[in-house]
Structure 1
């Protein structure tokens, strides 16, 4: 990010008798943080420590704003007091027993600048040594207790994907100042614990997103401030604040079911935690000596915490009721909308047998499953092979499942015989075509691609209420025009009609469609319009029609490629000094590898160290036949005596998880194709791997990626079937270091727009609130029908027409039009 346009950030740190920790934290902010010092304000609130710590902090850091609180206002009140002295457009809250990674603020601010709908960035928090997880995701139970998911587990890199969360931890949270103030900050009645849960909950209800960003990293000595506090006092705050958060934030309908059950559960939690005999006051259990019945009954402090929490919750209810009115009036999202962000709302949380029994009773009797229930079920359905070696459709389906699994229960299902998937955080199943219907019945939302809808004929029925998302990133009928050139005309026509019918079935039935580029979007809009899907009601509600058809390009990993094994140089025996051109995908009929081989033949005369490597010649899907173009490419390379010296063929397929090793050995990426309709609307998925690995791109003109390369300066675009121009372009990309370095720098900025999280954002957004397409809703009809115009309306219309005719052609045009209208009336009469 450019320094000049970075916002000022105010970091708020609350200190209470922890000056040593606070000084360590401030030192890290001053010495280790990459954020520009002149755009950083640090505010320390001393919460009436009374130990001289505030003076120590002032002496050690004279540039820090130190605010003395007259009383201990807790974390919530201390933070709010600090915000009163903050001047930044962005607020960053950091525990005094935490230290930031150098990129903590830079990465958080990058998210806020790039995504205007994000109100707060939840940082990734590890323990002080950076080994175990403190915060990577938040969960919320139906009874109001927030918790840190995966806390205490080793940080194995599996939580390094950004995601939306319900809340971030207050120990490291970056918030837009305007949003924080519009929410009146943290709720000071909480004092500490769950004030961050409550803030995130309220933020989400108002339509703002809270975004977990793993690159915004901090390290935390967990609960250093509570190390001397009795556990019963902590339990008291947790119980009381959970009830307060529920009361403020749940809708009337939900609260009516939840609050009685939550109160009952607090009591059972208290008696179970304190191992209290729940039947000791039964009338049938009176002691023989009446005097013994008057003796005090000991209650453990951990049990007492629950009872006192309810008592003080009642005390707070009048003020909470006022807050509740404001929150309910301001909400923009429903309770059901936020259930996916709660992760596992029905989680009991405490493994106490009597408590678990009560939890089950309350959930059943109050029907809480109906309120929070199970997570939304999403089926991602493909016909492609899923294994270590995957082609584009399977890669796309895999990443759809991966991105959606953070918020929903997801299954990835293929009907392909080859299904030997790598480890996944979601189930991956291979089913027979006849059994797909069972998977569809399980799902709330079906995301499908290719021919998948044909496996479930009932899904094509207009009366079917299942929500269907159709991934149209592959215009199969245009592809088939090229792929089928070797077949007879009769077979080609038959195949084309069949594939077009498959696509039309999806276009008629789908509730939401995805395509890969703006060009494709124009193409599919034409299809949808021809099929009558662009209705007036849809258009009036959404003139862009993006609620029906959105762009979701192929994506790439948000993490830069890292070598995990040998690459193409070691595998093929290429020297480190060789200049390598990489063809990163398969060789299919719609490509033009022949011109590329001819260009290498031309270039080797003046650059003998040039090498061309084809990454995969054998499609990983066994159902995809070899295409004639592959054989012709091998034959041409052999005839020109290039095979094994300047042109190399990997005759299998590089596993998806290993492809970065080959990419990191290349010097530039290439894709060449013929000039035809398929090219115009194609999206060359493997070109994204060039962006991922920072390779200058040489491409033939005519597709959407050529537009991108030309517009953003990512490489060289050449005309089709011009080996000399292609040779010159390859030479520039390979041997002009200044040019290649400039391309790599621009690629680094562009690739951020193509991470899977960004690319699939429209799908993620739709699945958060999936709805039938408006023209598929029962009873959908035009509400306003034509009626005869009144006299005044007719006069207004005629005056408007006269003006248009004068503008178009003067008085003569008015006379001609008027004569025409008279003749029409005479013919009717």
Structure 2
């Protein structure tokens, strides 16, 4: 009888630790951030470990498995039985922070469990369902519980930035996962949570024949192009950019704005309201097909550089929200990789770097006038000035190379640990408090504090 796990995974050399990476996103020619992160981390870790990347989604347009490194196996369309069997033959499991919802048993196996907290998705839930209180309440409570389960069960967690880490440390503290026992294990708390940013490939980006943005949209010609390099989610602000371009057209009539993604490759992710709002605004301003263009669907992962390298300036705009402050935009890393001048809204960690390093401008929230001025200034730079901005952007990319980013994961996997089991925080009883007071000050302090101790009992 055939073994479905062996059919998908094959034989390993069996000399290294085995790591299972699980994502609920499709891994194929078209991928969004979570799937890309799972695959790219797997590619780097497989240099030192045997890695299986498992996606629960089966896609028709899959990637060529023969192109993967020899120590990296890819499993698609994995259901509960497949995930359970894969988990049994791996020593460590790396999951994104929604995986325990369909596969709760992964949290109860005697494996080293690593949870990826790079997406603080509760903030996105608040935005996405803001106009539907019933859906908002249900979705928030559900995902809040799902998230806490991951935080409780994990032996190690990672996030995308030090700013995110501050947020997660606060959450761990409020949850009671950060306690004296954990602190005794590691006072830096890096064994609880460390930073693994989204990354940039080591190879130089190149254009593929026939896949460039101007080849896809001949209407662009040689015009200066502003490129929105990803999906139009509800927590983004394309409307300010569209209005700014519309105003800038009066002084720069050849300007073009292109939106590179309108529909997530994950079939479970709907076209969001903001996508429709952006389309409607372009229609109302008579920009659609003239100065504003939407690429339907999603650009394949291996073709994204061909689009980015054809653009003049990359843009990303968002609102003054907690989601913004703790975000780590996948698309901006691609902008760095391709050495693109960047216009973005202020407020997140990458925007701070863009402004500080001269890789573009970080602009005030929803400020159409500021965006218009920045668009005209950036597209009006001469080639020498523009090259300086491009070099600054490319240099930022070198700070986020995937191989360097995964080092905390590599260190954990070389010397894995189990954290002490989670204990719900409860009020200490009288005996425990008396013992603590005695340890601190002996019988004298016990007598001094006795009224307080017994008073608490009577409350």
Instruction: Using CA pairs under 8 Å that are at least 6 residues apart, name the structure with larger relative contact order, 1 or 2.
Output: 2
Partner of 2:153: 509
Residue 421, structure 1, aligned to residue 63, structure 2: yes
- The aligned counterpart of 1:720 is 365
CA distance in structure 1 between the aligned counterparts of 2:440 and 2:286, rounded to whole angstroms = 84
Distance 1:790 1:543 in 2: 22
Q: Give deviations 1:293-335, integer Å, cap 9, x for gaps.
A: xxxxxxxxxxxxxxxxxxxxxxxxxxxxxxxxxxxxxxxxxxx
Q: Indicate conservation of the 8 Å contact 2:336/2:395, yes or no.
A: no
Aligned to 1:185: none
Q: TM-score by structure 2 length?
A: 0.86
Name 2:429's counterpart in structure 1: none
Q: What is the SS of the residue equivalent to 2:377? A: helix
| Contact 2:45-2:406 within 8 A present in 1 as well | no
Q: Pick one of 632, 646, 653 that aligns with 2:277.
A: 632
Matched residue of 2:100: which SS? helix
In 2, the alpha carbon distance for the partners of 1:753 and 1:607 equals 35
CA contact (8 A) 2:358 2:389 kept: yes
Deviation of residue 411 (structure 1)? 1.0
Q: Is contact 1:700-1:717 (8 Å) kept?
A: yes
RMSD: 2.7
Which deviations, in whole Å up to 9, do the C-alpha atoms of 1:100-140 show, x marking residues without a partner?
xxxxxxxxxxxxxxxxxxxxxxxxxxxxxxxxxxxxxxxxx
Cα distance in 2, alignment partners of residues 769 and 572 from structure 1: 51
Report the more deviating stretch, 549-558 or 559-568.
Answer: 559-568
Q: What's the counterpart of residue 274 of structure 1?
A: none
Verify the 8 A CA contact 2:177 2:422 in the aligned structure 1.
no
What residue is the counterpart of 1:409 in the other structure? 50
Query: What's 1:453 paired with?
Result: 100
**Which residue of 2 is the match for residue 751 of structure 1?**
397
Match of 1:495 in 2: 139
Q: Which residue of 2 aligns with 1:788?
A: 438
The answer on 1:593 being equivalent to 2:238 is: yes
- Measured after TM superposition, the shift of residue 825 of structure 1 is 11
- Alpha-carbon distance in structure 2 between the residues aligned to 1:825 and 1:496: 39
Q: 1:758 to 1:775 in 2, by over 3 A?
A: same
CA separation in 1, counterparts of 2:169 and 2:449?
36
| Structure of larger gyration radius | 1
Alignment of 1:116-127 (within 5 A): none
Whole-angstrom CA distance in 1 between matches of 2:58 and 2:341: 37
Q: Distance in 2 between matches of 1:709 and 1:393?
A: 23
Who is 2:87 aligned against? 440
In the other structure, the counterpart of 1:384 is 25
What is residue 349 of structure 1 aligned with on the other side? none
Deviation, structure 1 residue 607: 0.8
Q: CA deviation at 1:677?
A: 1.5
Tell me the TM-score normalized by structure 1.
0.49
Partners of 1:689 and 1:652 in 2: CA distance: 19
2:414 matched to which residue of 1? Answer: 768
In structure 2, runs of 5+ residues without a counterpart are 1-11, 424-431
> Following the alignment from structure 2 to structure 1, what is the Cα–Cα distance between the partners of residues 94 and 49?
13
Displacement of 1:774: 4.3
Aligned length: 425
Q: Could you say which residue in structure 1 is the equivalent of 2:8?
A: none
Q: 1:546 to 1:678 in 2, by over 3 A?
A: same
Rounded to whole Å, the distance in 2 between the matches of 1:532 and 1:596 is: 43
Q: Quote the residue 2:183 is aligned against.
A: 539
Distance 2:55 2:417 in 1: 25
Q: Mapping of 1:791-810 within 5 angstroms? A: none
Displacement, 1:574? 4.2
Within the candidate set 5, 15, 38, 1:397 is matched to 38
